[in-house]
């Protein structure tokens, strides 16, 4: 890689101080020229989406996360609703802070209702500046829920609970809410007086919040998907309560959106990044994306990107109905922890990946020298440069996103950059980035399993029986596994040492 190549292909967004270096990706100038026509088509398709076309054809809805930070671009008068929501969020958070009653916020949500808020809270929070402490329940694991509740034990009276679910029927969120309601009740507290709903107007959760007179309700718009909801009420309510600068978060995203609408491909970092994903994976997901931010505050970014990228791009069919089995697998850690984790394989093992480094220029923290002329942050930057060099020496491709610091503005910019790159890449490979039929299939399968469980529980007697005897219509493996779980939790009694000899009965 040459200095000239670095200079030629460095692009960025001056208004937010972000740059993208793709010089260590193994593309050619000829390849870029060959992709230009398709890229221009992708820009046109993206422009149609922003004008309000029905981009999610399965659910017959628009896709409008870009309008959240530029309400003036929203069609159908939606801009006023967006502005009213942001204003209501600020007013509510200010009132909570002024009252000085609450010390903690408990968020209950999953997927896009948790990953974005968790990332932003960790990236921008600090014990010395946070106005309220944030806790998250993002699963239906009763042990995990108990662990979080134990950490706020004795403070539920001072804990505001925010329940986030677009449909209001997400099982994991509903289960967490029921257990939290019970915890409030056991403390002699009225859950509704401490509860906030973020959901779609008219949803089951919205109706419950109205009926029980919850403390507050905020609308999650129908045209916002979970994985692109961080700049909606989903993310803004929690960020505002924590005391983060939501105006700066929105501004960073807005400026990045404006820059990445630019149809001049070489001047558009989101377009160049989407093209690099296409080149690295042959437009077919043939390589994984490894996200390595060299900053502790960005540790959760790879988890956030897993959903944004994999749920958006992991599709069986293209827009013409052809079976394509698209997607890009995403995983990541943080630098320099990766030096002691999987960089060994990245450098010397199977070459089935490309790396997205994220570099932060300002160190923050202590300025103490740990060696003459060397600070701790110098080591961190040195490890980034060294790792990049070591990978390049073995023909391992990488690109680097650089931001000046981790603040609300740069975090908003990173979120918007990847949202745009995902949309453009989906256009390049002709898939729908805004639906998730596989997620629905998994939920339906889980519902079927729970139905089998109810049937098995009702079939248990004092007489030990095999899974097949208890439920002849249920697949035997599934019946055994359900019964094994019930027995482990004292809800059935198991005899026999193997699946073939196991019998189950009512517990003693």
Active site residues: 311, 340, 443
Residues facing 289 on adjacent strands: 330, 354
Phi, psi (deg, nearest 5) at residue 358: -125, 120
Query: SS3 of 153, please?
Result: coil
Alpha helices in 222-353 (DSSP H): 233-242, 246-260, 269-281, 301-305, 312-313, 343-348
Contacts of 140 (CB under 8 A, 6+ apart): 171, 172, 175, 176
The sign of the CA dihedral 51, 56, 60, 66 is negative
Residue 142 sits at the vertex; the CA angle it makes with 139 and 143, to the nearest 5 degrees, is 105
Alpha helices in 152-299 (DSSP H): 171-186, 204-212, 233-242, 246-260, 269-281
Q: Which two tokens stand for residue 221?
A: 């718009």
Residue 81 per-residue DSSP state = H
Helix, strand and coil percent figures for the chain, each rounded to 5: 50, 15, 35
Residue 69 CA to chain centroid, in angstroms? Answer: 18
Alpha-carbon dihedral of residues 27, 30, 35, 39, nearest 10 degrees? Answer: 90
Alpha helices in 375-488 (DSSP H): 376-393, 408-428, 437-459, 467-470, 476-488
Q: Which of 323, 324, 427, 436 is nearest to 59 (CA)?
A: 436
**What count of other Cβ atoms lies within 10 Å of the Cβ of residue 204?**
15
Determine the Cα–Cα distance for residues 54 and 228; give it in Å rounded to an integer.
16
Phi, psi (deg, nearest 5) at residue 163: -105, 120
Alpha-carbon dihedral of residues 58, 85, 235, 244, nearest 10 degrees? Answer: 160
Classify residue 148 by burial, with Cβ atoms within 10 Å: 0-12, 13-18, 19+: middle
Q: Which of 285, 306, 287 is nearest to 431 (CA)?
A: 285
Determine the Cα–Cα distance for residues 500 and 497; give it in Å rounded to an integer.
8
Contacts of 221 (CB under 8 A, 6+ apart): 64, 78, 81, 82, 200, 232
Q: Which two tokens stand for residue 105?
A: 């916020």
């Amino acid at each position: 890689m040459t200095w000239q190549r670095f200079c030629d292909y460095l692009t960025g967004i001056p208004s937010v101080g972000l740059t993208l270096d793709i010089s260590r990706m193994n593309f050619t100038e000829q390849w870029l020229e060959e992709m230009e026509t398709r890229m221009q088509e992708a820009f046109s398709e993206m422009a149609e989406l922003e004008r309000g076309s029905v981009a999610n054809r399965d659910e017959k809805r628009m896709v409008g996360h870009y309008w959240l930070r530029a309400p003036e671009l929203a069609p159908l008068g939606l801009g006023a609703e967006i502005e009213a929501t942001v204003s209501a969020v600020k007013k509510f958070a200010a009132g909570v802070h002024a009252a000085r009653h609450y010390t903690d916020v408990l968020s209950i949500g999953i997927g896009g209702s948790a990953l974005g808020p968790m990332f932003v809270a960790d990236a921008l929070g600090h014990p010395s500046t946070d106005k309220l402490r944030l806790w998250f329940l993002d699963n239906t694991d009763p042990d995990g829920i108990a662990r979080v509740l134990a950490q706020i034990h004795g403070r539920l009276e001072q804990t505001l609970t925010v329940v986030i679910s677009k449909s209001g029927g997400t099982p994991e969120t509903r289960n967490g809410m029921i257990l939290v309601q019970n915890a409030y009740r056991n403390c002699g507290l009225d859950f509704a007086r401490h509860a906030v709903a973020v959901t779609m107007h008219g949803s089951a959760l919205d109706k419950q919040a109205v009926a029980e007179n919850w403390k507050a309700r905020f609308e999650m718009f129908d045209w916002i998907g979970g994985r692109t909801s961080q700049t909606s009420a989903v993310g803004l309510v929690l960020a505002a309560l924590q005391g983060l600068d939501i105006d700066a978060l929105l501004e960073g995203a807005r400026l990045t959106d404006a820059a990445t609408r630019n149809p001049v491909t070489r001047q558009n970092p989101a377009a160049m990044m989407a093209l690099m994903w296409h080149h690295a994976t042959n437009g077919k997901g043939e390589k994984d994306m490894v996200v390595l931010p060299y900053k502790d505050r960005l540790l959760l970014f790879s988890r956030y990107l897993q959903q944004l990228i994999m749920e958006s791009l992991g599709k069986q069919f293209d827009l013409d109905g052809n079976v394509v089995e698209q997607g890009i697998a995403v995983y990541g850690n943080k630098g320099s922890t990766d030096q002691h984790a999987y960089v060994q394989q990245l450098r010397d093992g199977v070459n089935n990946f490309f790396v997205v480094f994220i570099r932060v220029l300002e160190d923050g923290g202590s300025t103490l020298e740990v060696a003459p002329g060397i600070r701790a942050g110098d080591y961190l930057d040195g490890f980034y440069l060294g790792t990049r060099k070591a990978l390049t020496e073995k023909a391992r491709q990488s690109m680097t996103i650089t931001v000046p610091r981790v603040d609300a503005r740069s975090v908003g910019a990173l979120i918007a950059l990847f949202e745009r790159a995902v949309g453009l890449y989906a256009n390049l490979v002709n898939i729908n980035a805004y639906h998730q039929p596989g997620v629905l299939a998994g939920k339906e399968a889980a519902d079927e399993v729970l139905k089998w469980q109810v049937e098995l529980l009702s079939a248990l007697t004092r007489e030990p029986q095999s899974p097949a005897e208890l439920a002849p219509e249920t697949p035997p493996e599934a019946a055994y596994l359900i019964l094994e779980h019930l027995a482990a939790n004292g809800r059935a009694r198991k005899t026999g040492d193997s699946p073939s000899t196991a019998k189950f009965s009512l517990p003693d």
